[in-house]
Structure 1
């Protein structure tokens, strides 16, 4: 149990700005093991975001509350996944060879493709959430689910695709080692767990577009760079989160 706590806290320390005990570190072996709790970290981040939304909604409009919720999740993670998405936009938008794409993605400066990508995906995320904001409790559940399930989809990429960057230059070292099947199963459990709290099991149909998103981006990454990097996983998480939010109104209209 102590080892599992260490794995979880390592994931929290690596993916968020939440303070952790000093005995938690970033050793490569522990980081690799911590991948099983990526989705659980998503539940934690989603809960923080949802909590901010719930409290703010008693004072502010839905739109302001949603913006505050999005800011809360970005602040909690230090824009970890958004940074990966922006770097991926710059890399695949401006590079035409594997080497050039990886060089651009490693560059900490934000380019035109990254700016446009961030504006587009954050705007779409806000509009989708605003459309879904029919009740406070439902929005709390949607936010938690979106953060957890999208991180599970990202862990599938880590499991199936080879890491293509040298370890010493990596920003996301857990992805440099082969993810264990056990870790993927545990991540999957925490990823889909919040979906059981919806009042309909039709919500599980959202897994179909999410898996299609994984297959498409996974093939795209493999075609251009031969595998994945941490930035690719971050990009997939962001896209999968938005796809989940966009899938819900379609499911409601077709099956409810």
Structure 2
């Protein structure tokens, strides 16, 4: 995507942060007292990593409780469960829909049609099961302090990765309202900087104790997210909301596996 034309947009505000919370989680956020602008979702993406930090904190709290009561394996499972519950399985739904579409569709039109189908198929079910299993296994291998830091970093950076996919690719869906929200604008430099700062703050606890784990985690997560983006570009010509969810999930998986390879390896 190119950086122009762009709509004139004000500096990121609290209203956009609330839009991000409302979009990414099931938390009861007050309704906006303004009419939605065509690019409201792209603007809210500025704060996706900030919301990711909050999701990571909740997930880490669940792991502390679960590990103290049941041990590391169930603690890791409860941590992943907490993030799924808080987001309403939002990203997991995108992962399942994307794998069903790419695995079962033979044309662009058919793949986009499968993405809209609320039913889950074999490819989607396998992707969900394997994805959850890999995240739980990676977390359970880490010392508790490392797992907590990795959760916060992972959830912040994975939301940043989905923002970057949306910023760099063209929207491939065919719904006019969503196309206006996604495709006609990109993130400004100041918005990208704010997102990067949020990712950095989320990764700071892990960075202080194991810089190499952060580097390897970011590299592994970015590789999987980039692979998903490339797959989407080849099969449907761009991204959709489901592809963004799948990119977020694959980044989480890659990041946690990378951190586990360094710290628990």
Query: Considering the TM-score relative to the shorter chain, is it more than 0.5?
Result: yes
2:118 matched residue in structure 1: 108
1:245 matched residue in structure 2: 256
Report the alpha carbon displacement of residue 236 of structure 1 after superposing the two structures with TM. 0.7
1:120 matched residue in structure 2: 130
Contact 1:47-1:143 within 8 A present in 2 as well: yes
Contact 2:63-2:79 within 8 A present in 1 as well: yes
Alignment equivalent of 1:6, drawn from 2, 15, 22: 15
TM-score computed with the length of structure 1 as normaliser: 0.89
Q: In the TM superposition, what whole-angstrom CA distance separates every residue of 1:104-160 from its partner, at most 9, and x where no partner exists?
A: 01111111111111111111111111112x12x322111111111111111111000
- Are 2:160 and 1:152 aligned? yes
Separation (CA, whole Å) in 1 of partners of 2:230 and 2:93: 21
2:204 matched residue in structure 1: 196
- Are 2:246 and 1:235 aligned? yes
Counterparts of residues 23-102 of structure 1 (less than 5 Å): 23=32, 27=36, 28-102=38-112
Separation (CA, whole Å) in 1 of partners of 2:122 and 2:180: 27
Contact 2:91-2:249 within 8 A present in 1 as well: yes
Separation (CA, whole Å) in 1 of partners of 2:167 and 2:127: 26
Contact 1:37-1:187 within 8 A present in 2 as well: yes
Q: Unaligned regions of 5+ residues in structure 1, if any? A: none
Contact 2:150-2:259 within 8 A present in 1 as well: no
Q: How many residues align?
A: 251
Q: Which moved more, 1:193-202 or 1:25-34?
A: 25-34
Contact 2:225-2:250 within 8 A present in 1 as well: no
Separation (CA, whole Å) in 1 of partners of 2:137 and 2:228: 23
Report the alpha carbon displacement of residue 25 of structure 1 after superposing the two structures with TM. 7.0
Contact 1:87-1:114 within 8 A present in 2 as well: yes
1:20 matched residue in structure 2: 29
Q: Unaligned regions of 5+ residues in structure 2, if any? A: 1-9
Contact 2:221-2:253 within 8 A present in 1 as well: no
Report the alpha carbon displacement of residue 177 of structure 1 after superposing the two structures with TM. 3.9
2:182 matched residue in structure 1: 175
Separation (CA, whole Å) in 1 of partners of 2:24 and 2:180: 12
